[in-house]
Amino acid sequence: MKILLKSSAFILVVLLLNGYKSDPQKTDLPNMDLHVHLNFEGQSLANAAMVYEKTAALSKERGVIFGIAEEFVNDNIKINDSLVLDRCTLAKKNSLYLALQVSRRDWLNIFSKDVLKKVDYILADAMIFPNKDGRMMRIWVPNAPLGEPQEFMELYVAHNLKVLAEPINIWANPTYLPDVLKTRYDELWTDARMKSLIDAAIKNNVAIEINSTFKIPNAKFIKMAKAAGARFTFGTNTHGPGAGDITWSINMAKECGLTKDDFFTPTRKL
């Protein structure tokens, strides 16, 4: 019985070691989740300090570098600035990158220029915009007033082009489709639509996120973007413990033949 137990333990150790060996994250592609959200109870700095510490511990445990995407949408520049500066300090202290995710299209007016220079990068998606009747859509929300699919796509592509022309570094959740349109991804994302957004990202030096949570963009899009000279990042857009699970993104990057030179990485040394 003792021998049996010992050999079982041995087999378990071998299995575990092999598991680590075949870990898809063991690669020279950047082990970075540059789209991590934190779940705050309010915005108090004391609480944020604790959350940053916990997140840094998770980052170490996973062996994946985290970029924290903060969203401040106050109308008051002073309040936004002070929140950004607080988070910059926390990010530095905890060996994390600090990003600003901008969802208001007038975001350049709600932070001061000097403060914007202090964040490691700026990230934006294109998931909030008006439909043809002027009603604001949050396209991930069920029953958003999307309208007819082709018309929706025309507006969506136009809105993406607007976002991609802003001074941002990462295009997050690229090619995301609302749940009701997901099964039509291949049909709705025509080559022409893909090409126009890829060209815009390259022209403005915006990296394209390969998103593990939504499993987007598809291989066709990534290969087309790589051939055109685009750069990429890995992200989860995760609020909570799933942060850093970039397995899908890494596998996709490998499948599409990406190398570490195809990636945007923040310049600050952690």
Q: Scan for tokens 């593990």, then name that residue.
A: 212
Q: CB nearer to Zn ion: give 35 or 226.
A: 35
| Beta bridge partners of residue 37, listed in sequence order | 239
Report the residue number whose CB is nearest to Zn ion. Answer: 237
Q: In this complex, which beta carbon is closest to Zn ion, that of residue 201 or of residue 226?
A: 201
Nearest to 223 by CA among 186, 193, 252: 252
CB of 6 to Zn ion, least distance (A): 49
Q: Which is nearer to Zn ion, 101 or 160 (CB)?
A: 101
Q: Of 55 and 101, which CB lies nearer to Zn ion in the complex structure? A: 101
Closest to Zn ion by CB, 121 vs 226, is 121
In the complex, least distance from residue 61 CB atom to Zn ion, rounded to whole angstroms: 22
- Least distance in Å: CB of 211 to Zn ion? 10
Minimum distance of Zn ion from residue 33's CB (angstroms): 11
CA neighbours closer than 13 Å in the CB half-sphere of residue 68 = 29
Q: How far is the CB of 101 from Zn ion (least distance, A)?
A: 5
Interacting residues toward Zn ion by CB under 5 A: 101, 237
Residue appearing with tokens 């859509």: 137
Distance CA 216, CA 199 (A): 18
Residue 128: CB minimum distance to Zn ion, A: 12
CB of 2 to Zn ion, least distance (A): 53
Residue closer to Zn ion, measured from CB, 80 or 101: 101
d(CA 11, CA 147): 57
Interatomic CA distance for residues 85 and 89, integer angstroms: 6
Of 99 and 226, nearer to Zn ion (C-beta) is 99
